[in-house]
Amino acid sequence: MGDGAVTRHPGLREQVKAIVFDLDGTLYQEERLGEEVNQSAVLYVADLKGVSAAQAQALLEATRAADGAAGTLSHAVMTLGGTLQELHRRFAADCHPERLLKPDRRVRELLQLLSTRFRLHLYTNNNRDLSARIMTQIDVNGLLDRVFTIEDYWIPKPDRRIVEDILSKISCRPQETLFVGDRYRIDLAVPESLGCHVFEMKSTEELLTLADLVH
């Protein structure tokens, strides 16, 4: 069950002041939206390289595999000569959370519960437009104090400098902060290396166990 951070640190309730959530795959799970994101990137690379979509897909896969721990879609597109700005312009145009996402009442209730004890923030590799539309669709607007998107830095996860800056902006020390995400290497490894608490989850059911921090 995820990273088990909630049970592994018995003093977590008293230490933590803020929780920083990832968005995609964490506050919602919908593979079809991920497929739209991937297809948008494939078509961008195809345009860049003047190759077919199938060839662009193979290029992206090979580039991500070669990058190892940093093998995110964003890093792969940049390696292949694209820019984050154009990639995310395409994401905003090509992806349709309005068609694919529905709110999960349990997630909203969890955030409402956690907000009675902690300050809640979001840190996502997604862009501002698409993140806002996703948050509207899953009905979590108004529950997050600070939202950090790719557009705040134009540097994708994982990046130590960005996590340090986020901690500064939310006025929390690492040991006062819990990072929550579905991909350890991308979302959690850097925060943990800085001394933050982390919780890796793979399902909404695992996410909901964070209610134990309040109960």
Which tens digit of pLDDT belongs to each residue from 71-97? 789 999 999 999 999 999 999 999 999
26-53: average pLDDT: 97
The Cα–Cα gap between 44 and 40 comes to 6
Query: Domain 5-29+103-213 sits in which CATH superfamily?
Result: HAD superfamily/HAD-like (3.40.50.1000)
Which tens digit of pLDDT belongs to each residue from 157-182? 999 999 999 999 999 999 999 999 99
The Cα–Cα gap between 92 and 103 comes to 20
- Look at phi and psi of residue 171 and say left if phi exceeds 0, alpha if psi is from -120 to 50, else beta: left
Q: How high is the pLDDT of residue 69? A: 56
Model-level pTM? 0.92
Residue 1 pLDDT class (50, 70, 90 cuts): very low
The Cα–Cα gap between 21 and 179 comes to 6
The answer to whether the CB of 49 falls within 8 A of the CB of 56 is yes
